């Protein structure tokens, strides 16, 4: 990407999009296009196509999505599949229609089968059943990948797709009803410390293993791939290491300064038992994650505290 190129980051106000914008600005990119969801409803096909025609972006990062944790996915399955399907369809088609030079589509590691062998390789996609608690979202993301591959095959569009692992960091969603496990736990431990609670309850048994990637590392990986990768095959982005929810909870208690007990609620769903990505492909291309989980959590918690002032 030339530093003067017009770059559109869809979802630029969210966790991923804002991190990509920070990275692009750090790299010296001078023409970054942003639109909030209030300014541009990406579910509106006519509005989306009109925006692409008027702005003529040369490079596009598709980070706009409806996202959430287990509770949100279980409560609003129709919204998760509809909103994500229609947004990605509108953007991918508009990118094709307006001759975008290159587009990067962000999927999610939840697209892989619930019981996929570990670590999860890119070729495991569509080899087994999905995790039921996030199936609508995963199906929408799989459709986005297939759309990118189809437009590349039929029209030669340079559309690539990446699959990040569980993300966290600055600008995350800390709403207890809609957040993913890590930001939700940060808020619970923080508020429990403020109230002086004797215990914090955590969903599930605590035994599932999860991999977590600091979002600024993801942004760096996306910019790296935009420069160095041109193929239809998907690319995993992660750290290559995981941690149990029990270990995560105790680490968060330390980061937030919470000193009470941690109680696990086995009546709540665990989700996928183990989920760790095989990142050998992106490592071989020349990229590796840099931020340790402890450092990333400390930075995220400082930002969370500052944002509440």
- Is 245 within a domain? no
pLDDT 10s digits, 92-104: 999 999 999 999 9
- Is 141 within a domain? yes
- Is 44 within a domain? yes
Residue 173, annotated as binding a ligand: no
The CATH number of residue 97's host domain is 3.40.50.720
- Please name which of 89, 67, 79 lies closest in space to residue 11, comparing C-alpha atoms: 67
Q: What is the pLDDT of residue 178?
A: 65
User: Which residues have C-beta within 8 Å of that of residue 192, sequence separation ≥ 6?
Assistant: 199, 200, 258, 260
Handedness of CA 287, 291, 297, 300 (dihedral sign): negative
Residue 270, annotated as binding a ligand: yes
Q: What is the pLDDT of residue 58?
A: 98
137 noted as active-site residue: yes
Q: What is the pLDDT of residue 308?
A: 80
Number of CB atoms found within 10 A of residue 180's CB: 21
- Count: domains in the chain: 1
- Is 231 within a domain? yes
Residue 167, annotated as binding a ligand: yes
- Is 251 within a domain? no
The residues facing 159 across adjacent strands are: 103
Which single residue is written with the structure tokens 């600024």?
Answer: 216
Q: Give the chain's residues under pLDDT 50.
A: none
Range of the domain at 123: 6-172+212-240+277-290
| Prediction pTM value | 0.94
Q: Are strands 209-210 and 274-275 parallel, antiparallel or unpaired?
A: parallel
Q: How far apart are CA 2 and CA 59, in angstroms?
A: 10
Residue 69, annotated as binding a ligand: no
Residue 210, annotated as binding a ligand: yes
Residue 12, annotated as binding a ligand: yes
Residue among 8, 59, 112, 137 flagged as catalytic: 137
- Is 194 within a domain? no
Q: What is the pLDDT of residue 270?
A: 83
Residue 109, annotated as binding a ligand: yes
- Is 271 within a domain? no
Q: How far apart are CA 134 and CA 272, in angstroms?
A: 10
Q: How far apart are CA 259 and CA 243, in angstroms?
A: 21
Q: What's the half-sphere exposure (Cβ side, CA atoms, 13 Å) at 139? A: 16
Q: How far apart are CA 60 and CA 161, in angstroms?
A: 12
Residue 251, annotated as binding a ligand: no
pLDDT 10s digits, 165-205: 999 999 998 887 767 788 989 999 999 999 999 999 998 99
Per residue, the 3-state secondary structure of the chain, as one string, reads CCCCCEEEEECCCCHHHHHHHHHHHHHCCCEEECCCCCCCCCCCHHHHHHHHHHHCCCEEEECCCCCCCHHHHHHCHHHHHHHHHHHHHHHHHHHHHCCCCEEEEECCHHHCCCCCCCCECHHHCCCCCCCHHHHHHHHHHHHHHHHHHHHHHHHCCCEEEEEECEEECCCCCCCCCCCCHHHHHHHHHHHHHHHCCCEEEEECCCCCEECEEEHHHHHHHHHHHHHHCCCCCCEEECCCCCEEHHHHHHHHHHHHCCCCEEEEECCCCCCCCEECECCHHHHHHCCCCCCCHHHHHHHHHHHHHHHCC
- Is 303 within a domain? no
Question: Exposed, middle or buried: residue 279 (CB in 10 Å: 0-12, 13-18, 19+)?
Answer: buried
């Amino acid at each position: 990407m030339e530093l003067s190129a017009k770059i559109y980051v869809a979802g630029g106000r969210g966790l991923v999009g804002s991190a990509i914008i920070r990275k692009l600005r750090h790299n010296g990119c001078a023409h970054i296009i942003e639109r909030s969801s209030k300014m541009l409803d990406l579910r509106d096909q006519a509005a989306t196509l009109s925006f692409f025609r008027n702005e003529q972006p040369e490079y596009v990062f598709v980070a706009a999505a409806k996202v959430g944790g287990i509770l949100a996915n279980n409560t609003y399955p129709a919204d998760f599949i509809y909103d994500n399907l229609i947004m990605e369809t509108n953007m991918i088609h508009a990118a094709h229609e307006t001759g975008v030079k290159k587009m990067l589509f962000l999927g999610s590691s939840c697209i892989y089968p619930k019981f996929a062998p570990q670590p999860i390789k890119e070729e495991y996609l569509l080899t087994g059943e999905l995790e039921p608690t996030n199936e609508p979202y995963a199906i929408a993301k799989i459709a986005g990948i297939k759309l990118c591959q189809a437009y590349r095959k039929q029209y030669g569009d340079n559309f690539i797709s990446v699959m990040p692992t569980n993300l966290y960091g600055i600008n995350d969603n800390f709403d207890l009803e809609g957040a993913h496990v890590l930001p939700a736990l940060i808020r619970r431990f923080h508020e429990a410390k403020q109230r002086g609670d004797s215990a914090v309850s955590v969903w599930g048994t605590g035994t599932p293993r999860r991999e977590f990637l600091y979002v600024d590392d993801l942004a760096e990986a996306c910019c790296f791939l935009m420069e160095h990768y041109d193929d239809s095959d998907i690319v995993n982005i992660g750290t290559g290491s995981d941690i149990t929810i029990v270990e995560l909870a105790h680490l968060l208690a330390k980061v937030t300064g919470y000193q009470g007990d941690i109680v696990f609620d086995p009546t709540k769903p665990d989700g996928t038992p183990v989920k760790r990505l095989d990142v050998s492909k992106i490592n071989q291309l020349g990229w590796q994650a840099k931020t340790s989980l402890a450092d990333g959590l400390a930075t995220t918690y400082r930002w969370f505290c500052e944002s509440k002032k």
